[in-house]
Amino acid sequence: MRKKLCSRKGETLVEVLASLLIVIMIISMLPMALETAARINAKVKNMDTVCQRTMADTAMQTVDAAIYSADGTQIGTLNVQGYQENGFTYYVGR
């Protein structure tokens, strides 16, 4: 025990500051990652709702879904076919 107390080995101030910097960077990036995940989830949920309503209203199994770019302009359409299996609704782009 006495040998360990007299030892000069340990972490330097630079090592501690570097590790704190890494932890702070990770913590600062976490809210942005969570916000991005929530935004993507909302878009997918909206697309799911639109496809389900359109398929239910028209009694069809396929709909044409719009494809948008990052700035919100429509760049095309995709024929989406929906089917249910095991209580879940799946969509396949054609």
pLDDT digits (tens, 9 = 90+) for 22-50: 999 999 999 999 999 998 888 878 777 77
With contact defined as beta carbons under 8 Å apart, do 18 and 11 qualify?
no
DSSP-based helix, strand, coil % in the chain, nearest 5: 55, 25, 20
- CA geometry: angle 90, 93, 94, nearest 5 deg: 130
In angstroms, rounded to a whole number, what is the distance separating the alpha carbons of residues 28 and 35? 12
Average pLDDT of the segment spanning 72-80: 76
What is the pTM assigned to this prediction?
0.46
